[in-house]
């Protein structure tokens, strides 16, 4: 029987973490926990209900009305409504960065994430998985890519989803998101001391997946 392990993938916005995590989870039959979708869901709820994202107290009060459920087929449900596509807009992305600064939001979602992770054979991606959520993860990966590469990827994703997209606007939003994530007071984006950095700028999806699978096998052998 293969050794049960937990995998944490951290990195900046649009670095392809979720895509890789989902592909690896499918190949290895792991549980995939989309932490980014959870923060996006909180932001989407606030936006939808006209709650000021910059009002920490108002956002904190909103948490008691939020229930998030992730399914095996990668669907995201917010209070039993499928919001899988609605939470992928650039507005919600920036909103997620904003609400993730608040301690109450992080405490609420980190607790949920840890509960699922206790089952073993899980893969999580986000901004602070290896440093805060799962500091004792068996394998930590810090996945990066250039701003230009990430902007192009997000642009193509939005086009495929039928969403309006402007490459230069997306590039500026990614740079803004990077700054917000790296400079927030609570759980800033940073590479864990024992994480393996993986630059995917010039790699295909298949090459990245193969590299992660190699790291998983190596981790199992240790």
Domain membership of residue 70 as a residue range: 14-206
In a domain, 43, yes or no: yes
Residue 21 in 3-state DSSP?
helix
Mean pLDDT over all residues of the chain? 92
In a domain, 218, yes or no: no
Mind listing the pLDDT tens digit for each residue in 126-181? 888 999 999 999 999 999 999 999 999 999 988 998 888 899 999 999 999 999 99
What is the rounded CA–CA span in Å between residue 81 and residue 83? Answer: 6
Cβ atoms within 10 Å, residue 206: 9
Q: Residues comprising the binding site?
A: 11-19
* Predicted structure pTM score: 0.76
In a domain, 162, yes or no: yes
In a domain, 5, yes or no: no
Residue range 88-102: mean pLDDT, rounded: 92
Q: Residues comprising the binding site for ATP?
A: 11-19
In a domain, 148, yes or no: yes
Of 182, 221, 172, 212, nearest to 24 by C-alpha is 212
In a domain, 197, yes or no: yes
Angle between helix axes 35-48 and 90-99 (nearest 10 degrees) is: 100
pLDDT of residue 33: 86
- Residue 109 belongs to a domain with what CATH number? 3.40.50.300
Report the domain count for the chain.
1
In a domain, 188, yes or no: yes
In a domain, 175, yes or no: yes
């Amino acid at each position: 029987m293969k050794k049960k392990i937990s995998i944490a993938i951290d990195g900046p916005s649009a670095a392809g973490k979720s895509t890789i995590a989902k592909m690896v989870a499918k190949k290895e039959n792991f549980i995939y926990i989309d932490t980014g979708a959870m923060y996006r869901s909180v932001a989407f709820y606030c936006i939808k209900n006209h709650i000021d994202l910059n009002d920490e107290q108002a956002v904190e009060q909103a948490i008691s009305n939020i229930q998030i459920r992730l399914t095996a087929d990668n669907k995201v449900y917010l209070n039993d409504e499928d919001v899988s596509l609605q939470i992928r807009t650039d507005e919600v992305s920036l909103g997620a960065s904003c609400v993730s600064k608040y301690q109450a939001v992080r405490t609420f979602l980190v607790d949920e994430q840890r509960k699922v992770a206790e089952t073993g054979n899980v893969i999580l991606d986000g901004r602070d998985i290896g440093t805060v959520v799962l500091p004792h993860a068996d394998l930590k990966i810090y996945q990066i890519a250039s701003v230009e590469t990430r902007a192009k990827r997000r642009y193509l994703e939005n086009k495929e989803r039928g969403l309006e997209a402007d490459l230069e606007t997306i590039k500026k939003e990614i740079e803004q998101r990077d700054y917000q994530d790296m400079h927030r007071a609570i759980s800033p984006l940073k590479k864990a001391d024992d994480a393996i950095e993986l630059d995917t700028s010039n790699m295909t999806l298949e090459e990245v997946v193969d590299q992660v699978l190699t790291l998983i096998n190596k981790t199992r052998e240790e």
